[in-house]
Amino acid sequence: MKLAAILASLLLVSPTGAGPGTAAGDSGRLLRIAEQCRQRAERIRGIRARRPIRWKVASRDEILQYVLGVLKKQYAPGELEAEGKTLQALELVAGGIDYRGFMLDLLKEQIGGVYDPVAEIFYLADWLPEQFQETIIVHEVTHALQDQAYQIDDFLDRKPGNSDAMLARSAVAEGEATLVMMIDAMQQAGTSLGADEIAAMSESGSMLEILSKVAFPSFSSAPPAIRKSLMFPYLKGLRFVASAKKKGGWKAMDRVYADLPRSTEQILHPEKYLANRDEPTEVRIERLDLSNEWKRVNEDVLGEFGMGLLLEPLDEDERQAAAAGWDGDRLLVYEKGKNLAWISLSVWDSERDATEFAASFAKAAMKRHPKFGVEVPDGKTVMILRGDGKTVWIERSGAKVVVLHGFAYPFAKSLRDSVLGATAR
């Protein structure tokens, strides 16, 4: 989900229900609070602002217009709709959802303070209650410090065709800002917890609940895939940054920003970045002829995190275990009239990992489509689900897994050889 990474990089959203008249006093007081928060963030993070941070007290509408302008620059016409169709095809959101409208409504409701790395301006939300201002300012001012030290604007731009890498980069920036924010909150409460302890909290349901209430209180109505994608940079990024800090202190982040993680796998398993580096395999699907009837609407990399989302009907432990052997993938999404279909080719660390994912995906598919007939032609490496004129073809070949989803059976069968012959490097 590219939009999840973009929104996470733009703002730590505010609590709902903060209406007019609840803001933090006058502008002068808010600016003094902002300067105090900057100083605290500098002390915690161990870096100072290289240039004065420009503050601007702004209304909800002013900040909203800025954020909408960023989205307009990041997305070409139709791309946001294509992302929504991708989520529908993958059965991660309901069919027919107005994805663009839903996400924009969510954005309007949750918008808060934000740092603009291009203009180097921090927009302070003039409508927020004072009790929420400091937490948000510390988080966002950390982004300002990051930008001055590492030019984060250069790496937070969209990466067309690879939302997995984009989400990983977002997790670095958001994880660091969240860690600074949490350390500051503990200090202000008179409590001292280390990065490791805070990261351990992030793995618990209580931490998720706390952040959900502070940052995403109305997300309970959003599909799980959207909620998890939006929370990923904060929670999993926090754990990654805490691991880096444990290994080399805050100076370790200098090395991280100089050589950024390339996949959510490296965020989910910090040792695959910090110790035994495990770079993702690039997968290409070429020479694929789907005739003029099927129109390609999206191409992407799901990554370990995205592969786990595909297994949503299964329990959390099984999803994580099945996706953990990911090494690379390529996703192609197609549209014909009102029908959506997709092709996935993934490569895994071993045949055993590929077998585990294929089996788990087949199990998830059967849960999603309990009325589909099931065939296992070779008794081992291929499973085919058929129903309603559509096919779910799941096949393991060595350490590769192919999924053809939503096509009619004869057409899916004809595509199989071409997809398996795709390149991985």
Q: What is the pLDDT of residues 103-151, one digit of tens each?
A: 888 787 778 889 998 888 999 999 888 888 999 999 999 999 999 999 8
Enter the tokens of residue 317.
């432990």
pLDDT tens across 153-207, in order? Answer: 777 766 679 999 999 999 999 999 999 999 999 899 888 777 777 777 666 545 5
| Planar angle of CA 13, 259, 255, nearest 5 degrees | 90
Q: How many CB atoms lie within 10 A of CB 254?
A: 14
Q: Say how far residue 209 (Cα) sits from the centre of its chain.
A: 18
Residue 295 has pLDDT above 90, yes or no: yes
Confidence (pLDDT) at 162? 94
**Longest pairwise C-alpha distance within the chain:** 73
361, 369 Cβ separation under 8 angstroms = no
What angle, rounded to 10 degrees, do the helices at 27-45 and 130-150 form? 50
Position 353 pLDDT exceeds 70: yes
- Long-range contacts (CB closer than 8 Å, 24 or more residues apart) made by 413-420: 415/288, 415/290, 415/343, 418/285, 418/287, 418/288, 418/289, 419/285, 419/288, 419/343, 419/345, 420/345, 420/395
Domains of the chain, residue spans: 2-274, 283-424
% of the chain with per-residue pLDDT over 90? 65
pTM of the model: 0.92
Beta strands in 354-418 (DSSP E): 373-375, 382-387, 390-397, 400-407
Contacts of 370 (CB under 8 A, 6+ apart): none
For residues 296-304, average pLDDT: 97
Calpha distance 316→309 (Å, rounded)? 10
Q: Length of the chain in residues, anyone?
A: 425
Q: Which fold has domain 283-424?
A: Phosphorylase Kinase; domain 1 (3.30.200)
CA–CA gap between residue 186 and residue 204 (Å, rounded): 17
Q: Looking at the predicted structure, is the pLDDT value of residue 1 above 90?
A: no
Grouping H, G, I as helix, E, B as strand and the rest as coil, residue 94 is coil
Higher pLDDT, 311 or 151: 311
